[in-house]
């Protein structure tokens, strides 16, 4: 449907429509893409980090997992991923936060609508004692991840560096295309019984 | 400073499954006591003068480079404000990744028929119903005092039996005037309350 490049340190927003997918590509390697997601029809429903982690018993994101809203519904599914690990824990830098707020304000949202974000292409290792460290080299040039929108999702993105990374921001490429609705044997639907129920609740929203 | 009966200005037992909302002034010490053990206490803090500036799980764990909260942890806001500092902790580890239970997340996690069960985020909604300036959008991911949620090196999140016991407590000093919002977790579907929600006590020393 369309393609676009987000330059290093820049922000982007779009309502990703139900039935479309966003493919994101790390052009040079070492990119970080901060992301927030809201239900466009009722933005008090938004991405919920704890609900996403505890429903799937994960502290990382990759293919087969989904992003939950606080209302028990699935905003996006991760249908493809060649990076293997995306960070849901470490949040954003000051530049990243300011970038989120500027983009949120364009849609009538406010700093109080900031919530925990995802960092695509970045990885944080957690040690046995809870210590967090940035994992260098997680994403190579050409790594890509695809998000299938399961609702009409206000998507707020920026390419500011990961808050624990020591390097400069990098660009990412975006491509939006139409996709088929998730089938009965969809990998994200079947990856956990919780996700099966999450898809049922999401489909009921449109019923 | 010495915490004693003389400077104790407030104490209250939050019944099992109930909520609590209260202001704590800069410099005051705030203690939460797990009276019966293994009771998750879902807690949020706000800058009392600006509720948009409120507790952030991600900022808190990133700034200390550790996912667990314990003595020395500064509880950070989404705008980089140190809200409180944990000054004592006889439990040893507290969670801030597991968030609060809700009717909706219980449907996903356990069964769609669990919608009716009492949940923390409904308690939060009740608590802010008559508190001007707070609404649903002001409920970010919270702290779960006395809850044990380890992360493995492979990136798995696990809910383990609690490591708290009767009488264990966590204590913190308010760095600025804060508003505290607590849901004493009513969850019955997992071990976070030992399948038996119990009262907790909150105390404030001036």
pLDDT in tens, A25-70: 999 999 999 999 999 999 999 999 999 999 999 999 999 999 999 9
| Longest CA span, chain A | 47
pLDDT for residue A195? 98
Inter-chain contact B104–A70, Cβ cutoff 8 Å? yes
Domain boundaries, chain A: 2-205
**What is the C-alpha separation between B106 and A34, in angstroms, rounded?**
28
How confident is the model over A166-186, as pLDDT tens digits?
A: 889 999 999 999 999 999 999
Mean pLDDT value of segment A135-159: 97
Point out which residues pair with B94 in neighbouring strands: B69
pLDDT for residue A148? 98
A128 — contact with chain B (CB < 8 Å)?
yes
With beta carbons under 8 A apart, name residues in chain A contacting B159: 54
Taking one residue from A and the other from B, the number of pairs with CB-CB distance under 8 angstroms is 138
β B29-34/B168-174 pair status: antiparallel
pLDDT for residue A144? 98
Is residue B1 predicted with pLDDT exceeding 80?
no
pLDDT for residue A6? 98
**What is the C-alpha separation between A105 and A14, in angstroms, rounded?**
13
A114 — contact with chain B (CB < 8 Å)?
yes
> Scanning the structure block, which residue is given the tokens 């399961």?
A150
Mean pLDDT value of segment A105-115: 95
Pick from B61, B80, B141: CB nearest A132:
B61
What does the buried/exposed string (b/e) look like for A97-134 if buried means 16 or more CB atoms within 10 Å of the residue's CB? bebbbebbeeeebebbbbbbbbbbbbbbbbeeebebeb
Q: What is the ipTM of this complex?
A: 0.96
Is residue A125 predicted with pLDDT exceeding 90?
yes
| Mutation choice for A interface testing from B44, B58, B61 by most A CBs within 10 A | B58
| Longest CA span, chain B | 51
Residues above pLDDT 90, as percent of chain B: 83
Lowest mean pLDDT segment, chosen from A4-13, A151-160, B10-19, B192-201:
B192-201
Inter-chain contact B66–A131, Cβ cutoff 8 Å? yes
Residues in chain B: 206
Mean pLDDT value of segment B13-38: 96
pLDDT for residue B192? 72
Mean pLDDT value of segment B113-138: 93
pLDDT for residue B2? 72
Assess contact for B201 and B36: CB atoms under 8 A: no
pLDDT for residue B6? 84
Assess contact for A64 and A77: CB atoms under 8 A: no
Residue A5, number of CB atoms within 10 A of its CB: 13
**What is the C-alpha separation between A54 and B97, in angstroms, rounded?**
8
With beta carbons under 8 A apart, name residues in chain B contacting A130: 66-68, 93, 151
pTM of the predicted model, to two decimals?
0.95
**What is the C-alpha separation between A10 and A30, in angstroms, rounded?**
16
Provide the 3-class DSSP secondary structure of residue A112: helix
How confident is the model over B144-188, as pLDDT tens digits?
A: 999 989 999 999 998 777 788 999 999 999 999 999 999 999 888
Interface of A with B in 7-46 (CB under 8 A): 44
B151 — contact with chain A (CB < 8 Å)?
yes
Assess contact for B56 and B140: CB atoms under 8 A: yes
pLDDT for residue A88? 98
Residues above pLDDT 70, as percent of chain B: 100
| Mutation choice for A interface testing from B49, B151, B183, B191 by most A CBs within 10 A | B151
Is residue B95 predicted with pLDDT exceeding 70?
yes
> Scanning the structure block, which residue is given the tokens 């800069």?
B26
pLDDT for residue A192? 95
Mean pLDDT value of segment B78-99: 96
Strands (E), A127-201: 132-134, 144-149, 153-158, 172-178
Point out which residues pair with A38 in neighbouring strands: A46, A154
pLDDT for residue B16? 93
B59 — contact with chain A (CB < 8 Å)?
yes
A80 — contact with chain B (CB < 8 Å)?
no
User: Encoding tokens for residue B2?
Assistant: 């010495």
Mean pLDDT of chain B: 93
- Give the torsion through C-alpha atoms of A164, B54, B179, A51, to 10 deg: -90
Beta-carbon-side half-sphere exposure of residue A193 (alpha carbons within 13 Å): 6
Mean pLDDT value of segment A98-105: 97
Point out which residues pair with A113 in neighbouring strands: none
**What is the C-alpha separation between B39 and B198, in angstroms, rounded?**
6
Strands laid side by side in the A144-149 sheet: A2-6, A172-178, A20-26, A144-149, A74-81, A66-68
pLDDT for residue B116? 84
User: Encoding tokens for residue B121?
Assistant: 């985020």
Residues above pLDDT 90, as percent of chain A: 99
pLDDT for residue A129? 94
User: Residue A148: which of A202, A203, A74 has the closest Cα?
Assistant: A74
Mean pLDDT value of segment A88-111: 97
β A153-158/A33-39 pair status: antiparallel
Mean pLDDT of chain A: 97
Please give the distance of CA A120 from its chain centroid, rounded to a whole number: 6
Inter-chain contact A53–B98, Cβ cutoff 8 Å? yes
């Amino acid at each position: 449907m369309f393609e676009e490049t987000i330059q290093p340190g820049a922000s982007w927003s779009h309502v990703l429509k139900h039935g479309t997918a966003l493919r994101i590509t790390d052009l040079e390697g070492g990119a970080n893409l901060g992301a927030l997601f809201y239900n466009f029809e009722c933005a008090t429903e938004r991405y919920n980090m704890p609900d996403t982690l505890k429903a799937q018993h994960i502290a990382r994101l990759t293919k087969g997992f989904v992003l939950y809203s606080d209302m028990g519904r699935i905003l996006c599914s991760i249908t493809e991923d060649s990076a293997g690990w995306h960070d849901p824990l470490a949040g954003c830098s000051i530049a990243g936060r300011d970038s989120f707020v500027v983009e949120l304000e364009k849609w009538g949202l406010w700093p109080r609508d900031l919530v925990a974000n995802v960092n695509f292409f970045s990885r944080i290792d957690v040690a046995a004692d809870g210590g967090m460290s940035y994992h260098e080299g997680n994403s190579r040039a050409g790594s890509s991840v695809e998000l299938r929108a399961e609702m009409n999702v206000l998507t707020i993105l920026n390419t500011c560096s990961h808050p624990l990374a020591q390097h400069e921001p990098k660009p990412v490429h975006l491509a939006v295309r139409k996709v088929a609705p998730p089938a009965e044997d969809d990998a994200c639907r079947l990856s956990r019984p919780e996700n099966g129920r999450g898809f049922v609740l999401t489909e009921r929203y449109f019923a | 400073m010495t915490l004693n009966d003389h400077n104790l200005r407030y104490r209250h037992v939050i019944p099992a499954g109930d909520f609590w909302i209260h202001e704590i002034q800069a410099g005051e010490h705030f203690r939460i006591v797990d009276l019966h053990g293994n009771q998750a206490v879902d807690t949020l803090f706000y800058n009392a003068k600006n509720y948009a500036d409120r507790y952030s799980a991600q900022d808190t764990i990133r700034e200390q480079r550790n996912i667990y909260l314990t003595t020395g942890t500064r509880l950070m806001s989404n705008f980089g404000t140190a809200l409180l500092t944990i000054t004592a902790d006889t439990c040893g580890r507290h969670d801030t990744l597991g968030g609060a239970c809700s009717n909706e997340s219980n449907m996903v996690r356990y069964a769609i028929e669990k919608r009716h069960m009492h949940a923390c985020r409904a308690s939060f909604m009740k608590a802010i119903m008559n508190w001007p300036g707070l609404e649903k959008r002001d409920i970010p991911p919270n702290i779960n005092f006395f809850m044990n949620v380890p992360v493995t090196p492979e990136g798995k999140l696990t809910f383990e039996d609690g490591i708290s016991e009767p009488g264990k407590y966590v204590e913190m000093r308010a760095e600025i005037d804060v508003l505290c919002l607590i849901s004493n977790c009513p969850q019955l579907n997992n071990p976070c309350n030992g399948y038996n929600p119990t009262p907790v006590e909150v105390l404030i020393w001036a």
